[in-house]
Amino acid sequence: MLGCAQNYQVQLHWRRGEQVYASTFDGTRKVEWGRRLCETSESIVTVGKRLAGAECCRLLGRAQPWAHEMSVYRDGDLVWQGPLTNVRERRGDFILQAHDITAWAARRWVNRTVSEETKDIARHVEWLFASVIGDDGENILPYVQVRDAGIREPWAFKKFSRYALDELIRIADLGVDWTTVGRHMLIGPEADKNTPAQGQLSTNDFLSDLEIEVNGMAAATDVAAVGDEGKVGRVGGWTATWDRLQTLISVPGEKSEARLRNIASTHVRQARPPLTVLRIPADAALSPTSQVEMRQLVAGEKFVITAADFCRPVRVGMRLAQLQCTWEAGQGASSGGEKVGVSFTPLRGEEVEDEGEGGV
């Protein structure tokens, strides 16, 4: 159950994630880890030196960023893994910070110039990531899982133009998702209104308050995406009900009118009035009684969220954008425990459904 983990264990491995450098730390006081959609996640672990013991202290004192990896186990399951990026020692504890395996793409520039080629956008992500990892010195490529996104777009790569991670984020805007689970990198189609839901959550599953908003200022019926050299992609126009609500989007570096139209089309679909939005606070805490399991909480997965007890009851599909978990060891009168927070983002083309009369 969420929030009810019986045990958290942390290990340091040598790079590649296979050979153990330092075993489970008895002095682990706090573990933070998460999953993020089309971004690099991080984990932060606090280890008390007194409880950890002399040998653990010796090993942590020699731990090296990028040479070692940190692995987080929840009730025996590997839930997070990635290169150690920062080590801090204080009088009473060590603070270990690591980022997931996509952090390697943040420290590798685009290393090849490739002429514009049209193929499934998921394959662009796969090719770029594989090209900067190289001959798999980090034992990562066997853990990359790819499903075609169903969208074929031209894309060109220019050597030394930017870091690979920045390019991966740019490609994701076209409709492909990537994230990490443990050591795996998952690449696949962006969930939409036709995608089967991973699970369903109601307002009762959240400890945080939710909000329903009808926002006219964010609405748009006519969108122009403007790139370089005067290239413009425009979608939409005048409507009888809402007149003309125009939005300009600047896309520096883009010269393809087709891609600009795709960006404009996506925006006008998401912003078409009346724009009813179910707002869930960032890192909203989930109740331990919620009917989902940790294995379902993968960034990018679709969940159906219902607010049947509101005066404007709604039902809407959303993508999980971020998972954030924090576990603390009990100290003194405190029992410690696990907290699970989530953030969601709207689906492309999804409209909030009015569920009829509600109640409070």
> How many whole angstroms separate alpha carbon 161 and alpha carbon 146?
25
> How many whole angstroms separate alpha carbon 234 and alpha carbon 249?
10
320 backbone φψ class: left, alpha, beta (φ>0; ψ -120 to 50): beta
Residue 197 DSSP code: P
Q: What's the pLDDT at 130? A: 93
Q: Do the beta carbons of residue 105 and residue 163 sit within 8 Å?
A: yes
DSSP string, 126-148: HHHHHHHHTTTTTS-GGGEEE--
In the chain, where the domains are located: 8-100, 105-189, 192-215+275-360, 218-272
Q: What's the pLDDT at 360? A: 37
Q: Which helix (H) or strand (E) holds 321?
A: strand 314-328
Q: Do the beta carbons of residue 110 and residue 132 sit within 8 Å?
A: yes
Q: What's the pLDDT at 332? A: 47
Half-sphere exposure of 134 (CA within 13 A, CB side): 7
Q: What's the pLDDT at 333? A: 44
> How many whole angstroms separate alpha carbon 262 and alpha carbon 259?
5
Q: What's the pLDDT at 195? A: 93
Instruction: Find the length of the chain.
Output: 360
> How many whole angstroms separate alpha carbon 217 and alpha carbon 355?
24
Which residues of the chain fall below pLDDT 50?
332-333, 357-360
> How many whole angstroms separate alpha carbon 168 and alpha carbon 39?
9
Q: What's the pLDDT at 311? A: 87
Q: What's the pLDDT at 272? A: 75
| Rg value, the chain, Cα | 23
* Helix, strand, coil percentages for the chain (3-state, nearest 5): 15, 40, 40
> How many whole angstroms separate alpha carbon 85 and alpha carbon 67?
9
> How many whole angstroms separate alpha carbon 101 and alpha carbon 116?
27
